[in-house]
């Protein structure tokens, strides 16, 4: 049985068998694995302005829809439909919702189907360009969009989009028993691990968790999980309870009857009671899955003397658009213009990236380009090699219109192209190997990519080295070469196999090289080297065809290369012709 062996990329002596390495250029130990600057590459662009998505990897959730999509015609008798479920998912239009409470805040049973899915939001005829509507200004709406196709992260991420939040309930307004009804809830953007087998089909909990984190509803004792395989959740939080941990157990561990936080967990500085939320904040939450994690990372808050977050450090409002009460005379285009926020999220191309969030509150690209980050945070967990993402928005007793459009995702730099090659050769004679004779091999590995590669390893099924325990690996910069050596003892079985090999009497051995670029494994194309073995008979030459005339000199094939035998035959023919011609002349001049 043949075992797979690895040749370590260092000089090793094990059981008297040598493995050597030579490097053609200076050592690159300590080189920082940073991609070279280059032209950013666009990974995704979706405007959300049409009646359908331009990319089929997007999936609408809940009541979300495209404002320029036509309203669907019910395919069933409305009386047979559940009035609190959205229309069939084949429609790209915003979906109807249900009021769960009456105007005094009392629960409705059954819930009341709302009359309009686009309340205070753009209609298809009202704007030249459409939007992704997460919610309209109705109560009890939840909506989102997921992108369930992996995108690479190794070049860093530069994510931009337009965000709109307007036509909200207003401070001082009576709503559902609340004498003071602020705007709510906000817009969430999240990134998940995009590894191929990790699907993104559902967001996390709505409301204060903004579709990313988990949530415990203390009023009815139910739990809602956070998004699966979450890496980063960013809340553009108008209401301001995404920052809170204790009120709904965000950032906690496990499904318990009360909030339980892991020892050493990063805890929010916000108050622990309802009413201690911090409006108009941007908050980051970290990795989580199901009912565990999603810990608080950082936020745009100002701490008081007791170290408690009570106010936001944002100089402008996420919600600057007109309210329902104070400017009802404004047209929808005016409301949209005053509510536009241009958002930029930058994730650096590092294993533990720096995340920065920028906003142009006037919606101008020039302002965004000149702005400084409102929030920065260095992640302590490695960025996944691929990512997926989503947007969410929701309303409850308090409301907003939540819109998104003009999404673009690019890399920060030209994505690196790691690559390497291997050339395997025999180091010594190539003919006549006997049983138990050692065959010496050389392996030349070249970094042909544009990144630094670490942990160079050669995979060869037939190298007899046993288990190696290297103390260090080899690092190759672009263009550098490393040479490895190894040996194999030829067996009787391999000599027997050579008798029936496609190439008679040859013993062939192949190898390939692997390396690491960050979390990515890089593999070369295989390379083979061969020797001939002793004790293996070459096939005898076939006997001559009896039909061939003895002494006939073969001529070269038509169109084929000239041969030395063909040239000799032509010379013989020419000489014979000259002899016969001369003999005829002599006979013709003889006297009678």
Q: Which of 165, 172, 177 is nearest to 106 (CA)?
A: 177
- Helix and strand element counts for the chain (H, E): 4, 34
Rounded CA-CA distance 583/373 in Å is 107
Scanning the structure block, which residue is given the tokens 């809602």? 224
Domain positions in the chain: 5-32+416-532, 42-74+82-361+368-410
Give the pLDDT score at 534.
85
Low-confidence winner among 166-170, 348-352, 369-373 (lowest mean pLDDT): 166-170
Query: Which residue has better confidence, 72 or 357?
Result: 357
The pLDDT tens digits for 425-438 are 999 999 989 888 99
Give the pLDDT score at 543.
57
Q: Residue 386 burial by CB count (10 A; 0-12/13-18/19+): exposed, middle or buried?
A: middle
pLDDT for 307 beyond 70: yes
Which range is most confident: 88-102, 248-262, 359-373, 577-591? 359-373
pLDDT for 167 beyond 90: no
Give the pLDDT score at 362.
93
- Interval 43-70 mean pLDDT: 93
Which range is most confident: 218-232, 350-364, 483-497, 512-526? 350-364
Rounded CA-CA distance 146/388 in Å is 8
- Interval 299-303 mean pLDDT: 93
Low-confidence winner among 65-69, 340-344, 394-398 (lowest mean pLDDT): 394-398
* Region of residue 542 (phi > 0: left; psi between -120 and 50: alpha; otherwise: beta): beta
Which range is most confident: 202-206, 463-467, 557-561, 570-574? 202-206
pLDDT confidence tier of residue 7, bands split at 50, 70 and 90: very low
- Interval 394-398 mean pLDDT: 87
The pLDDT tens digits for 362-385 are 999 999 999 999 999 999 999 999
Rounded CA-CA distance 580/588 in Å is 12
Rg, C-alpha atoms of the chain:
37
- How many residues are there in the chain? 592
Give the pLDDT score at 85.
67
Q: Which of 184, 173, 174 is nearest to 138 (CA)?
A: 184
The pLDDT tens digits for 454-509 are 888 888 888 875 333 343 568 899 999 988 888 899 888 888 888 777 777 889 98
Please state the φ and ψ torsions of residue 498, each to the nearest 5 degrees: -65, -25
CATH class of residue range 42-74+82-361+368-410: mainly beta
Q: Is 508 helix (H, G, I), strand (E, B) or coil?
A: strand
- Interval 415-423 mean pLDDT: 86
Residues 6+ apart with CB under 8 A from 263: none
pLDDT confidence tier of residue 87, bands split at 50, 70 and 90: low
HSE toward the beta carbon, residue 73, CA cutoff 13 A: 0
- The answer to whether the beta carbons of residues 12 and 463 sit under 8 Å apart is no
Give the pLDDT score at 161.
98
pLDDT confidence tier of residue 196, bands split at 50, 70 and 90: low
Give the pLDDT score at 34.
38
Give the pLDDT score at 575.
52
Tokens of 153: 């992260």
Please report, for residues 164, 225, 532, the alpha-carbon distance to residue 393 in angstroms, rounded to integers and kept in the order given: 11, 16, 71
> For every residue of 361-428, which 3-state class applies, written as one string?
CCCCHHHHHHCCCCEEEECCCCCCCEEEEEEEEECCCCCCEEEEEEEEEECCCCCCCCCEEEEEEECC
pLDDT confidence tier of residue 187, bands split at 50, 70 and 90: very high
Please state the φ and ψ torsions of residue 262, each to the nearest 5 degrees: -65, 145
**Residue 364, number of CB atoms within 10 A of its CB:** 13
Rounded CA-CA distance 178/171 in Å is 10
pLDDT for 199 beyond 90: no
Give the pLDDT score at 367.
94
Give the pLDDT score at 225.
93
What percent of the chain clears pLDDT 90, i.e. is strictly above it?
40
pLDDT for 569 beyond 70: no
The pLDDT tens digits for 538-553 are 554 555 555 544 444 3
- Interval 135-157 mean pLDDT: 91
pLDDT for 328 beyond 80: no
pLDDT for 586 beyond 60: no
pLDDT for 351 beyond 60: yes
Per CATH, the number for 5-32+416-532 is 2.60.40.10
Q: DSSP code of 213?
A: S
Residue-averaged pLDDT of the chain? 79
pLDDT confidence tier of residue 264, bands split at 50, 70 and 90: confident
pLDDT for 446 beyond 70: yes
């Amino acid at each position: 049985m043949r075992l797979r062996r690895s040749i370590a990329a260092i000089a090793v002596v094990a059981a008297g068998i040598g493995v050597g390495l030579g490097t053609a250029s200076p050592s690159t130990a300590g080189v920082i694995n940073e991609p070279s600057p280059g032209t950013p590459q666009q990974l995704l662009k979706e405007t959300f302005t049409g009646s359908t998505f331009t990319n089929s990897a997007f999936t609408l959730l809940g009541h979300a829809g495209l404002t320029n999509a036509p309203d669907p015609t019910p395919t069933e008798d409305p009386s047979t439909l559940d009035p609190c479920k959205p229309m069939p998912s084949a429609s790209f239009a915003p979906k109807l919702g249900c009021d769960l409470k009456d105007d005094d805040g009392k629960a409705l049973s059954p819930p009341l189907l709302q009359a309009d899915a686009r309340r205070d939001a753009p209609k298809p005829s009202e704007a030249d360009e459409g939007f992704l509507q997460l919610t309209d200004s109705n109560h009890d709406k939840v909506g989102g969009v997921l992108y369930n196709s992996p995108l690479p992260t190794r070049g860093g991420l530069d994510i931009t989009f337009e965000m709109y939040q307007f036509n909200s309930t207003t401070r001082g307004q009576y709503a559902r028993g609340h004498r003071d009804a602020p705007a709510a809830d906000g817009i969430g953007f999240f990134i998940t691990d995009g590894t191929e087998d990790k699907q993104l089909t559902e967001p996390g909990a709505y409301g204060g968790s903004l579709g990313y984190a988990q949530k415990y509803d203390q009023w009815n004792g139910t739990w809602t999980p956070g998004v699966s395989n979450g890496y980063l959740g960013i809340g553009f939080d108008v209401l301001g309870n995404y920052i809170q941990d204790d009120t709904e157990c965000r950032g906690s561990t496990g499904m318990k009857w009360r909030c339980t936080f892991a020892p050493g967990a990063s805890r929010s500085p916000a108050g622990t009671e309802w009413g201690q939320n911090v409006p108009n904040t941007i908050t980051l939450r970290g990795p989580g899955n199901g009912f565990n994690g999603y810990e608080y990372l950082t936020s745009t808050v100002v701490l008081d003397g007791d170290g408690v977050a009570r106010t936001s450090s944002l100089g402008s409002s996420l919600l600057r658009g007109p309210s329902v009460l104070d400017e009802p005379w404004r047209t929808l285009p005016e409301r949209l213009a005053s509510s536009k926020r241009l958002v930029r999220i930058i994730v650096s191309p590092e294993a533990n990236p720096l995340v920065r969030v920028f906003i142009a509150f006037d919606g101008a690209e020039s302002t965004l380009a000149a702005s400084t980050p409102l929030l920065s945070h260095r992640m302590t967990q490695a960025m996944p090699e691929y990512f997926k993402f989503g947007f969410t928005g929701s309303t409850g007793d308090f409301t907003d219109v939540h819109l998104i459009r003009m999404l673009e995702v690019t890399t920060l730099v030209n994505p690196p192209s790691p690559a390497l090659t291997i050339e395997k050769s025999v180091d010594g004679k190539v003919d006549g190997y006997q049983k138990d004779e050692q065959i010496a091999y050389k392996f030349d590995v070249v970094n042909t990519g544009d990144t630094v590669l670490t942990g160079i390893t050669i995979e060869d099924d037939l190298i007899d080295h046993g288990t190696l325990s290297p103390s260090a690996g080899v690092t190759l910069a672009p263009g550098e070469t490393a040479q490895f050596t190894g040996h194999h003892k030829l067996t009787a079985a391999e000599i027997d196999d050579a008798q029936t090999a496609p190439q008679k009497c040859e013993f062939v051995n192949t190898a390939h090289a692997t390396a690491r670029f960050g979390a990515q494994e890089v593999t070369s194309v295989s390379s083979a080297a061969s020797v001939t073995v002793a004790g293996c008979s070459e096939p005898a030459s076939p006997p001559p065809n009896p039909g061939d005339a003895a002494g006939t000199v073969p001529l070269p094939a038509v169109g084929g290369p000239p041969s030395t035998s063909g040239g000799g035959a032509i010379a013989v023919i020419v000489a014979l012709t000259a002899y016969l011609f001369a003999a005829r002349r002599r006979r013709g001049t003889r006297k009678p």
